[in-house]
Amino acid sequence: MKQVDLCVIGSGPGGYVAAIKAAQLGKKTLVVEKQTIGGVCLNVGCIPSKALITAAHFLDKMKSASEMGIRIPAVTVDGGQLQTWKQAIVNKLTGGISQLFKANGVESLMGEAKFISPNEVEVKTQAGVEKINAKNFIIATGSRPIEIPGFAFDKKYVLSSTEALEISQFNQRVVVIGGGYIGLEIGSFLAKLGTDVTVLEANKAILTGVTDPDCAQVVSRKLKKKNVKLLTEAKAIGFKKQGSDLAVQVQVNGTDQTVLCDKILVTVGRRPNSENLGLEKAGVKTDSKGFIPVNSQMRTNVNHIFAIGDVAGQPMLAHKASREGIVAAEVIAGKNSAMDVKTIPAVVFTDPEIASSGMTEEEAKLKGYETKSGTFPYVANGRALSMMDSDGFIKVIVDKKTDIVLGVHIVGYEASNLISEAALAIEMGATAEDIARTIHPHPTLGEMMMEAAEATTGHAIHIVVKPPRDREPRASART
């Protein structure tokens, strides 16, 4: 039986980060991985999807280059080469994790782990079963796509996000069930690469509950411009083969419709991978949805067993998992560490991108804040115009009494790279005045953050903003 200080089950962005941090802090660490080092994010999620999104963006730019006077002959897409390029990126990153394990003295074992007691797991490997005894465990087993009745994943007609990222023939018709961030990210790049895309969303609007509604509207308009069909208040009932077509039965506002397609992509959410781990043998409890409840130190109800990432609950974000992994590793190493953050930024890689940090106006009001906000449009920014990406805006939401920033929501080009300033501002308790008085370089997209902050008082320079009715001096939170 192998003896270690820490056994990490799962090597995704939570598990591998936790393992490396624990090893750096002097703990003998072993990682057990069931499938592929790097988990869902690196292999069939974050990284490959962003590679394909980037390729689709390049193609889209080529098509509009004539506006600049650049004439490009007819451009074709080699789907096989695109997939080869995507996989090369994945291989480089997963190989990098293996090198980091080696450099930091982290041992890895490929196999399926299952608790047989609070301090032991059995790992089923290709060579047989190996037992691991550990003083501490971190469960980082992630999540998987949810199936819905009538649309079981068969990898031929009905696809999960995993199979959708392997598509190399783009002259097809695809129905996307679910207008959340995964479905819209994949649907967007497929449409740009030549796929006929129809999105079915059960709610009245896409990205409901995911982001600021004003941001979602911008994406909705852009999708329609790219000929993506959006059916809201639409419920997928089932499908059947109809010659060479798939006929999807849909109820839209209570009316039955049929949508013909070649493939069906189901993206209605993800569920935690907490089954088949033998948690009952370890005494670890799960909630009604299969998530493992944890405290601020990432401890489960069993003191020496921790859980991080998707399996530990919402939000299901890679960067949240990584931070939780660091916290868990530090606690195991005896440090006084806890998951204590004001905001976890989130990004939706649609076209245009959406990035959010902190509260929406509705959330702030529900928490008792009296708010004011400032918005600055991309179309008023010189850099955005010169890049031919002028759709969108930045919205800054502040506490009217203190001027402290409560939330920032961006929809537009490079929103994913702009949101970090907002996250820092919220985490440090900055005011809109702090942002507005910070000199931002010109000409850049970042200037819009400064202008949006100024717009909260009606004083933005490069747009006309109606001044606040009270015209009271701005309160300072730093007196």
Q: Are residues 267 and 186 in contact, defined by beta-carbon separation less than 8 angstroms?
A: yes
Distance separating alpha carbons of residues 433 and 364, to the nearest angstrom:
19
Cα–Cα–Cα angle for 159, 162, 168, rounded to 5 degrees: 80
Q: How far is CA 28 from CA 76, 104, 333, in A?
A: 51, 10, 11
Calculate the CA 123 to chain-centre distance.
30
Contacts of 16 (CB under 8 A, 6+ apart): 8, 31, 37, 38, 39, 97, 100, 101, 325
The CA distances from residue 29 to 25, 176, 306, in Å, are 10, 41, 14
Query: Could you confirm whether 440 is annotated as catalytic?
Result: no
Q: Which residue has the tokens 């991108």?
A: 353
Candidates 57, 319, 440, 442; catalytic one: 442
Question: What sign does the CA torsion over 306, 310, 314, 319 have?
Answer: positive
Residue 55 near residue 188, CB atoms below 8 Å: no
Q: What is the torsional sign of CA 317, 105, 131, 3?
A: negative
DSSP 381-432: -HHHHHTT----EEEEEEETTT-BEEEEEEESTTHHHHHHHHHHHHHTT-BH
Residue 352: cis peptide before it, omega within 30 degrees of 0: yes
- The label of the residue with tokens 């990490």 reads 8
Active-site positions read 442
